[in-house]
Amino acid sequence: DAGVIQSPRHEVTEMGQEVTLRCKPISGHNSLFWYRQTMMRGLELLIYFNNNVPIDDSGMPEDRFSAKMPNASFSTLKIQPSEPRDSAVYFCASSLSGTRGETQYFGPGTRLLVL
Amino acid sequence: AQSVTQPDIHITVSEGASLELRCNYSYGATPYLFWYVQSPGQGLQLLLKYFSGDTLVQGIKGFEAEFKRSQSSFNLRKPSVHWSDAAEYFCAVGPYSGGGADGLTFGKGTHLIIQP
């Protein structure tokens, strides 16, 4: 079992550039979550999908952030344009069937630094 | 809105000593409660979870947690810590809903340091 795969593991970019983070959930999992981790705010849910459909994006900080899930095995989180305050670790997680209380399996994260 | 408080930012424990990490939550219904561990540079791994039944829950790596509704707490314990337990520990609550997946609300985490 490969687990949740995220790429890239590290990203350094300059302010104003577009950043795309990628996630491959565990095969057979129907729910996918994007979280952001910062020192100040801790772990925050940004958005989650169930069966490729966005269910709740209320955690997305602003219009510069967008997320897509074109199929069951791939999701992207895009920041355009990026700003230094977007520097954080971004985690993707997946769960099996979207049942309440189900275990979420986390990827290793993408560490983003915006200069 | 739900919230999770982990009052201890850092805890230092001697190897072999017992451990208790505190977690308090605010939630309007029966919560789903989780403890995750994060090793440096790694993602989060589930230690244990509770949503019904016996209020004392056993998890992996020798950890357990007790749900106390009257105190709105879900403290994590281990009788004897090992140096490999040094990590960041997160308590989380899952929101109530009629069904479907829901994201988790996390506490700020407790950084566990193990002294030799």
Judge whether B68 and B55 are in contact, CB under 8 Å. yes
**Does the pLDDT value for residue A16 go beyond 70?**
yes
CB contact under 8 A, B101 and A99: yes
Question: HSE (CB half, 13 Å, CA atoms) of A3?
Answer: 14
pLDDT at B97: 47
Who has greater pLDDT, A75 or B99?
Answer: A75
Low-confidence residues in chain B, pLDDT < 70: 95-102
Would you say how long chain A is, in residues?
A: 115
Contact A111, A11 (CB under 8 A): yes
Judge whether A42 is closer than 8 Å to chain B, CB to CB: yes
Share above pLDDT 70 across residues of chain A, in percent, rounded to a whole number: 98
Residues B36/B45, Cβ–Cβ less than 8 Å: yes
| Mean pLDDT within A51-55 | 91
> Chain B partners of A101 at a C-beta cutoff of 8 Å?
32, 49, 51, 94
User: Which residues of B are less than 8 Å from A109 in CB distance?
Assistant: 42-43
H helix runs in chain A, sequence order: none
Contacts for B6-12: CB closer than 8 Å, 24+ residues apart: B6/B89, B6/B90, B6/B91, B6/B107, B6/B108, B6/B109, B6/B110, B8/B110, B9/B108, B9/B109, B9/B110, B9/B111, B10/B110, B10/B111, B10/B113, B11/B110, B11/B111, B11/B112, B11/B113, B12/B112, B12/B113, B12/B114, B12/B115
pLDDT tens-digit series, residues B16-47? 999 999 999 988 777 889 999 999 888 899 99
Task: Tell me whether residues B42 and A108 touch, CB distance under 8 A.
Answer: yes
Find where tokens 């990827």 sit.
A107
B78 φ, ψ to 5°? -150, 130
Q: Please list, in sequence order, all residues whose beta carbon lies within 8 angstroms of the beta carbon of residue A81, skipping any fewer than 6 positions away.
A: A15, A16, A17, A18, A64
Per-residue pLDDT, B1 = 72
Contacts of B10 in chain A (CB under 8 A): none
The mean per-residue pLDDT over the stretch A37-63 comes to: 90
Chain B residues within 8 A of A106 when measuring between CB atoms = 36, 43-45
Residue A1's pLDDT band, with cuts at 50, 70 and 90, is low
β-bridge partners, A13: A114
Set of chain B residues whose Cβ sits within 8 Å of the Cβ of A88? none
Query: Which pLDDT belongs to residue B101?
Result: 53
pLDDT score recorded for residue B53: 84
* B90 contacts A100? CB cut-off 8 A: no
Q: Do the chains contact at B44 and A106, CB–CB below 8 Å?
A: yes
The pLDDT assigned to A98 comes to: 67
Rg of chain A over Cα atoms, rounded to whole angstroms, equals: 13
A3 min Cα distance to partner chain B (Å): 11
Q: Is the pLDDT of residue A28 over 70?
A: yes
Can you tell me the mean pLDDT for A1-10? 91
Task: Give me the pLDDT at residue A106, please.
Answer: 94
For residue B71, the 8-state DSSP code is G
What average pLDDT does the segment A10-36 reach? 96
Of B42, B44, B102, the CB nearest to A100: B102
The length of chain B in residues reads 116
CA B49 to chain centre: 8
Place of tokens 């302010």: A15
Minimal CA separation from A2 to chain B, in Å: 14
Average of per-residue pLDDT values in chain A? 93
What single letter denotes the amino acid at residue B28?
Answer: G
pLDDT at B29: 74
